[in-house]
């Protein structure tokens, strides 16, 4: 019998593994993946929702003229996310 290997998207920055059956990113360390799945799981580096949000925020900060004010993410207080002066 041949062993099957599952490939899964994994964000090593935030240690999140995408589980297609749940359509969700779950917190999972590399040690946990190795312990749970062994050689049956191979991870592929992927961009998680946290990475996408950080990238979007950085783009808004670096290139504010490219984004209309309505598309800038706001904090709960109504301030532009990361818009403080430095």
Dump pLDDT digits (tens) for 3-15: 577 889 999 999 9
Give a yes or no: residue 84 inside a domain. Answer: no
Q: Is residue 83 part of a domain?
A: no
CB-CB contact of 69 with 78 (8 Å): no
pLDDT of residue 50: 95
Tokens (6 digits) for 39:
């050689």
Residue 1 inside a domain? The answer is no
Nearest to 6 by CA among 34, 41, 46: 41
Token duo for residue 68:
């209309």
Query: Where in the sequence is the domain holding 27, given as residue range(s)?
Result: 7-70
In a domain, 78, yes or no: no
Res. 78: pLDDT tops 70: no
Q: Please give the model's pTM, rounded to 2 decimal places.
A: 0.67
Q: Residue 80 falls within a domain, yes or no?
A: no
As a whole number, the mean pLDDT across the chain is: 82
The total number of structural domains in the chain stands at 1
**Is 60 exceeded by the pLDDT of residue 36?**
yes
Q: According to the model, what pLDDT value does residue 10 have?
A: 95
């Amino acid at each position: 019998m041949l062993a099957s290997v599952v490939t899964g998207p994994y964000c090593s920055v935030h240690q999140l593994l995408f589980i297609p059956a749940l359509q969700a990113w779950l917190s999972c360390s590399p040690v946990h993946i190795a312990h749970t799945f062994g050689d049956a799981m191979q991870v592929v580096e992927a961009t998680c929702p946290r990475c996408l949000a950080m990238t979007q925020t950085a783009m808004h900060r670096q290139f504010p003229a490219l984004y209309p004010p309505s598309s800038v993410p706001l904090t709960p207080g109504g301030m532009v996310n990361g818009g403080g002066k430095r």
